[in-house]
Structure formats: C-alpha cells, structure tokens
Amino acid sequence: MKKIYTVALVTILFAACKDGKTNTETTTKNTMNTTENPLLVASKLPYGAPDFTLIKNEHFKPALKQGIAAQKAAVEKIVNNTEAATFDNTILELEKSGTLLQSVQNVFYGLTGAHTNDDLQAVQEEMAPKFSELQDGIYLNDKLFKRVKELYVKRDSLVLDPESYKLLETYFEAFEKAGANLSAADKEKLKTYNTKLATLTTAFNKTLLAANNDGALVFMNKEDLAGLTESQLKSLENKDGEGWKIPLLNTTQQPLLQSLEKRATREKIFMAAFNRADGTKNDTKDIITKIAELRAKKGALLGFKNYAEWSLQGTMAEKPENVFTMFNGLIPAATTKAKNEAEEIQKMIAKNGEDFTLAAWDWNRYAEMVKKEKYDLDESAIKPYFEIKTVLEKGVFYAAEKLYGITFKERKDIPTYHKDVMVYELFEENGDQLGLFYADYFARPSKRGGAWMSNFVTQSHLYNNKPVIYNVCNYPKPAEGDEALLTYDEVSTMFHEFGHALHGFFANQEYPSLSGTAVARDFVEFPSQFNENWALYPDVLKNYALHYKTGEQIPQALIDKIKKAGTFNQGYSLTENLAASNLDMKWHTISPDFTISSASAFEKDALHNTKLDVVSAVPPRYRSTYFAHIFGSGYAAGYYSYLWTEMLHHDAYNWFENNGGLTRENGQRFRDMVLSRGNTVDLEAMYKNWRGSDPKIEPMLKARGLK
C-alpha cells in the first residue's frame, strides 16, 4: 500500500511531500529564533535523511506549528502580491509554500504509523484539525483561487514546459475539487465538516491501534497451541508474564490459524480478530458511522450524489458506476469458485475424521491440507527457503538490479527510529547515487497494522532532492537467535512494497507534487502489484530461495509445485477482496440524508445485497470496524484500486513474457516510459504508449484461475 495521509483533500491528491534544503533553510533563518529543534534545520545526514539520534517527541508540536505558520505566511504573500498573476509568483510559490511543514510531517507521520507512543498520539490528535484548517484556508481562499483560475484560463498562451503546464492544471483541479467555487456560507460549512473528519479519522486510528494491541490473546495451556512449532512458540512467549501471547494482524484472517490443531483455539483467535473493534472498549462503530455520514454530507455540499462520486474525480475509474460494473463482472465467478473450494475443504474435514461444518476459522488449516493433497505442497516445506534478509537482498534487490541496473549497499551508519530497521543506499548502474531505503519489517505494538511505503524525502529537481523512502510490514518477529522465515505471501508483500519504492526512486520530476507515486489511487498500486511477478520468476527465485541452514537452492520440483498451485484458493482470495472493496463503496455511496442506525446491520446488508455472503466461511478481508484503509488512511472509496490495477499488472507482465522477460532493455523501457513519469502525463495514455495497446483482462482471469 502506498501510504496516503488525509488531513484534507489536497493531501490525497498530492501524496508526494515537498522537501528541500534551500527552502527549509530560508524559512528557518527568517522565522526561527532557535536552531535547537532538529526538525527545523537541514539534516546533516546523507540525502537529508532525518537524524533520529537528535529528534525527540517534544520537537514535533513546535515544529509542526512553525511549519503551519510558515505556509500561512507564504500563502498570504501570494494573495497580497499586487502584480498580475504569473506561474512563478503564484503556482511556483504555492508549490514551495509548504516545504517546511511537509518535511516535518514526513517524519511525524512516519513515526506515528511505524513507531508511535502516547506523546505522539496526543500531538496527532491536537494537530489533525489544525492541518485541516490550514488546507481549507488555502484551497477555499477566494483571492488565491482567482489568481490560479486566471492562469488556468489562459494556460495555453503561457508557454509553459509540459510539467509546469501539468502542475497548473493539477492545482486548478485541486481547488475546484476542494470546493473553491462554493458560496461563502457553504465554505464555512465545509470547513466544519473537514475539521470534524480530521478529528474522527485520528480517533479511529488511535482506537484501532489500541484494539489491535488489546485484542491479543494469552494462552496458558501449551496444548491449546498444538500444531505450532517450538520456534513459533518461543517467538510467542509472553514478555508481559506467563504463557504465550498471540498478537492480532490487521486482516480478518490470522496466519496461525493455518497451523493450529484445536478448533476451539482457532475460533477464539478468529473471533478476537473479527470483533476487536466491535463490542469491546475499543469499539469503532460510532466513529465509522459518523465518518461515513459526514463524508456523504461533504459530497453533497460539493455538488455530488455521494462521497464516492466526488472522490473518484481524476481517477481511472471516474465514477462509482464503473467500479460496481467491475464488481458485478467478477462476483459470480469468484463466489462460484469459492463455493467449489469450500466443498473440497468440507470433504477434507470429513476425510480427516472430523464432523463439523466448515467455518471461517477452519478455512486456512484445511485448505492447506487440500493443497498438500492436490499439489503435494506444504507451506512448512517452503518457509526454510525464504529467510527475510536473503529474500530482500538476493530476491527483491536482485530483480531490481537485473531489470534496472541499480545496486545496493547496507548503511549501518544511518540512524533509525527502531533497532529492527535496516537502511540501504541505492546506486545507478553508472555508480551515481539514487537514494536511501529503510526496511522496517517486524510487527510491534507501536506499529499500525498492514504494509506500506512512504517518503522521508521526496524526489524533486526543484530542490535537488533525491528520495529517502521506507517500506513497513508486519511480519512476526522470531525469537532471539532464530531466523526470520517468511511465508510465500509475505515474500510477495515484500516485492509489492518495494514496487512502490521503485516508483518513488525512479521519479524524475521538477515538482514534488507531481513526483513518483503522486498519481491516482487506482494507478498507484500498479507498479507495486507488477513487481510481485518477479518473486516467482525462475532466475530470481533460484537466486534467493536458499535453505537458511544449508544454503541449498530450492529444488526445481518444489518450484514446479508452487507454480502449479498458483490458482489454488483464488476463489477465496478474490471473494474476500471483493467483499472488502464492496463494503468500502457501499459506505461511500450513501446519500446525505441516509441515517445508519447500526453499522453492523449496514455491513451485513451490504454483503448480502451483492451476494458476497453466499459462502459463509469467506469473510471480508477487513470488517468495517477495522478497515484502516478507508477510515484511517487515504483509500476511502478507493480500495477497489487493488482489483482495478490487478488487470494492469497481469497485462504488463504478459508483455514482458512475450518480449524476453527479465532483461535490462525491458526494465529500462518500463522505467523510462512508466515508473519515472510520476503524474506528469495522462495515466491511461502513458500505459497504452508503453504497452502498445489497451490493457486486456484475459491475463488476470487466467492468473486467478477463472479462465
């Protein structure tokens, strides 16, 4: 997932952050009385990376407030300029206005997501409405919009270079989308909505983190955990007392259910995850209901039928109807395949001498048995070949080197925010510096659930900035002294998130607002999903799939089994994804006068009315109450993006397969024509120009086993 912070609309549109030594130094010199705050002076580390040896909790609030003040002053200067509006004195100055604030926010949001604490959460709660008010003060400013509009109207006569032209268009569209054309009274109402939404979103994230942590289960009887290896048990030893502590991941299904033999234990863990934020002290139902109803009112105020219709402006899908059309085309095939899979699993339960009806907490365990019987493939036989650092360096990095010529060097001299974080420096094929990469892979209580990519520093020629990028995952941390071995799904996630990172590293833009991953939500997942394909590419797999004890290369017979099982369980996988995506769209297509009397009933009806509950053992990947993508991040009315871009990534990989596969020539062409373009060109045209045709859905259907 590309992490998108949503203090307001503009933060969604401009996911890239504005960093720069020059502007930061100027702002600091002109407005600060002290240089004691490391967030307010240029970092002395390579690439301007944040110096976590100096940054303390108490530095953030004053730095954020200083950043807000600096941006307000810069905007006021633009508005009060008596000279006629020009690109330089309006658009360029607006682009530069938030440099200090964004550089502080990059670090702040990095920590609040990956390593938060009570102090940071308190700052987040206090500052969220202030960030919203700041954005409204900019994008609902009549005088500022007048200057932007004057330039937009005569844009074709301004003789701008293509990227500057695109920046002007992007700002104008952002102003319009934000409500710049509303009446004064409606603008005040919108400001109220935005402030409330910022506060509610922050409250949701804080409550969900507590729900994830408090939902962890402690088992005192080792027999209850039968099926887990001694290594797994050792890693789960309760550091707060006796017994074994099972943490909750952000998804509905929990990885350990695949191994646990006792059905009562599986049910207990599943229900703890399923109800973590429903009926507990960390209940989020009231919060998400308020968010959905406020968003509906916001959409209506801005002239749309619902929030989704407003939100989908500028995306490839364009409108909710197109998203639902995609769902309707996939649901019958997905649920039919899931039904067939459920029947196979039910037979396996009986074959195993057990007599019960398949439930969600049984699926993973008995599906694994079916896979072993059908394909002679056992997950436990695969994991020894997927040691985490070997996967990263000899798999993820190796594929990037073969495709794009880039190389990597670990930097143990760069300070990090947690001891588990690794740092690498990236170099171009000719030896030129490319950027810094932070890898933060292990779960911990201070980290929100899921996996994501974001920037500490965003690429920009305007500020001569090279990217500093981080990937965050939530892999279970092994016990001290044990190796960290990954499942294949976790390997795929590592490739996925580094695909986002490559999109950021290869950015080649003047302006940070158009740089790298600052693209539509239903395109941003394309480079990341596409990069997953290299995890099973023969040359790559053989290079990194080495037994952690012997160094033996993964046997070809095992590779063949993995590939043969590629379409296994795809009915379940697609249905759980469709269920979550559908929930997202249903929450965000309610009308402004619709009252949600019960969040649970709304969720149940949303699944039933679209026939996504026909296989009761397949729950949504996320229940509404812990759906952080849509209630705590920037994917509201946007979770469909994963399915939308899935078609692109399978189609793109099909092109590679038909044109020589993993070669430097193919990689360079993809980098030059797609990964390096940021948001500077029309995305559909960009893809078609690279591909030579419109994307086709057949490769996706084949990969899913639906054709």
Write the pLDDT tens digit of every residue in 508-549.
999 999 999 999 999 999 999 999 999 999 999 999 999 999
Contact status, residue 705 vs residue 567, Cβ threshold 8 Å: yes
User: Rounded CA gap, 562 and 540, in Å?
Assistant: 14
User: Rounded CA gap, 225 and 221, in Å?
Assistant: 8
Query: Closest by alpha carbon to 437, among 396, 390, 484, 387?
Result: 396
Architecture of domain 9-181: Orthogonal Bundle (1.10)
Residue 397 has what pLDDT?
98
pLDDT reading at 404 higher than 50: yes
Mean pLDDT of 666-689: 97
Q: Where in the chain is the domain with CATH 1.10.1370.40?
A: 9-181, 383-564
Write the pLDDT tens digit of every residue in 348-362.
999 999 999 999 999
Write the pLDDT tens digit of every residue in 99-143.
999 999 999 999 999 999 999 999 999 999 999 999 999 999 999
- Banded pLDDT at 35 (limits 50, 70, 90): confident
Residue 2 has what pLDDT?
75
Residue 379 has what pLDDT?
85
User: Rounded CA gap, 314 and 322, in Å?
Assistant: 14
Known active-site residue 532: no
Write the pLDDT tens digit of every residue in 467-503.
999 999 999 999 999 999 999 999 999 999 999 999 9
pLDDT reading at 373 higher than 60: yes
Asked if the 383-564 domain carries CATH number 3.40.47.10, the reply is: no
Q: Looking at residue 163, what DSSP letter applies?
A: H
Contact status, residue 657 vs residue 534, Cβ threshold 8 Å: no
The structure tokens 């407003």 sit at 310
Mean pLDDT of 588-593: 97
Exposure of 307 by Cβ count < 10 A (0-12 exposed, 13-18 middle, 19+ buried)?
buried
Q: Write out the DSSP string of 649-660.
A: HHHHHHHHHHTT
The mean pLDDT of the chain is 94
Give the percent of the chain with pLDDT over 90. Answer: 93
Contact status, residue 361 vs residue 517, Cβ threshold 8 Å: no
SS3 percent helix, strand, coil of the chain, rounded to 5, is: 60, 5, 35
Write the pLDDT tens digit of every residue in 38-88.
999 999 999 999 999 999 999 999 999 999 999 999 999 999 999 999 999
Residue 18 has what pLDDT?
31
Tell me which of 309, 497, 576, 603 is the catalytic residue. Answer: 497
Q: Topology of 285-377+569-639 in CATH?
A: Neurolysin; domain 3 (1.10.1370)
Residue 4 has what pLDDT?
63
Q: Where in the chain is the domain with CATH 1.10.1370.10?
A: 285-377+569-639
- Banded pLDDT at 7 (limits 50, 70, 90): very low
pLDDT reading at 34 higher than 60: no
